[in-house]
Amino acid sequence: MSTRDFNEHSITDAVVERFADTPDPRLRQIMQALVRHAHQFVREVELTQDEWLVAIEYLTRVGQICSDKRQEFILLSDTLGISMLVDAINHRMPAGATETTVLGPFYVQNPPIKPSDADISGGESGTPLYVTATVNGPDGTPLPGAVVDVWQSDDDGYYDVQKPGEDPNLRARFIADENGKVSFWTIVPKYYPIPADGPVGDMLAATRRHPYRPAHIHFMIGHEGYEKLVTHLFIEGDPYLDSDAVFGVKQSLIVTLVEGQGTPPAASGKPQAGQWMRLDHAFGLKPAA
């Protein structure tokens, strides 16, 4: 192959060929496919030099806003649907296993361990919600000892980690009992915007996209011998279920809250009067390969 005088077509094969000696076959496959697709993209839109400079400045800004508290590249991947595409390819679930969705930026390692029926709302205002969840294998066998991490935003749409000086709030770890069950009090979650004050927000605004995610509660569930499940439960009736900014909604993850009847199950500090809701859900874990 000629090594000079490339034109707008022949340059692609030349660059692909330059990666031919990559020892790791997977890295070789990825680099060569990346070059082919990126070149084809440039040809398809006939990118101008000014536009390429705008793109480079944009990605520079995405990098510059990243910190130990903010990962704008993941947010960009989320809003371009790439996170959910990678998730879909890597989580082809068998019957009986709960579908997965994005992790999001607000998970905190090792959340406070709470006992059954604990109230995780930390006094936040909102409609009380009593959640019971069972963790099973795909055939419905309960998985005692499963580790269930939950986290959600408050009634104003903020996670504790977005509020300076806040103690861990609306997040906890529960250990499933002998029936594979955990239970806790929280508040009904509400829709909220993803962080939109940076380059990702600029992209959404320029393309007339809104930044909202429909109301949800995050779950991360682990048990030896099973794949870790990262998912949410979305609340039926939310106005953003069909336009989630990060494409994370799956029909099987939408749940209907029912109005609680009678005396609410006990929990220290929970008001024992007034309206409350309940959510009962069974999760299925996929056996590890």
Instruction: Say whether residue 198 binds ligand BEZ (CB under 6 A).
Output: no
Phi-psi domain of 81 (left: phi exceeds 0; alpha: psi -120 through 50; beta: other): left
Instruction: Say whether residue 75 binds ligand BEZ (CB under 6 A).
Output: yes
Binding residues (CB under 5 A) for Fe ion: these are: 104
Name which of 226, 218, 216, 215 is nearest 180 in CA terms. 226
Tokens found for residue 286: 């996929």
Nearest approach in angstroms of CB 234 to ligand BEZ is 10
- Interface residue with ligand BEZ, options 84, 102, 146, 172 (CB under 6 A): 102
Closer of 81 and 145 to ligand BEZ (Cβ): 81
| Distance, CA of 223 to CA of 137 (rounded, Å) | 10
Stretch that binds ligand BEZ, among 24-32, 44-52, 98-106, 120-128 (CB under 6 A): 98-106
Stretch that binds ligand BEZ, among 18-26, 102-110, 125-133, 269-277 (CB under 6 A): 102-110
User: In this structure, are strands 277-284 and 181-187 parallel, antiparallel, or unpaired?
Assistant: unpaired
Closer of 122 and 195 to ligand BEZ (Cβ): 195
Sheet holding 277-284, edge to edge: 118-119, 181-187, 128-136, 277-284, 258-259
Instruction: Say whether residue 104 binds ligand BEZ (CB under 6 A).
Output: yes
Tokens found for residue 207: 């393309």
Contacts with ligand BEZ by CB under 6 A lie at 75, 78, 102, 104-106, 194, 213, 246
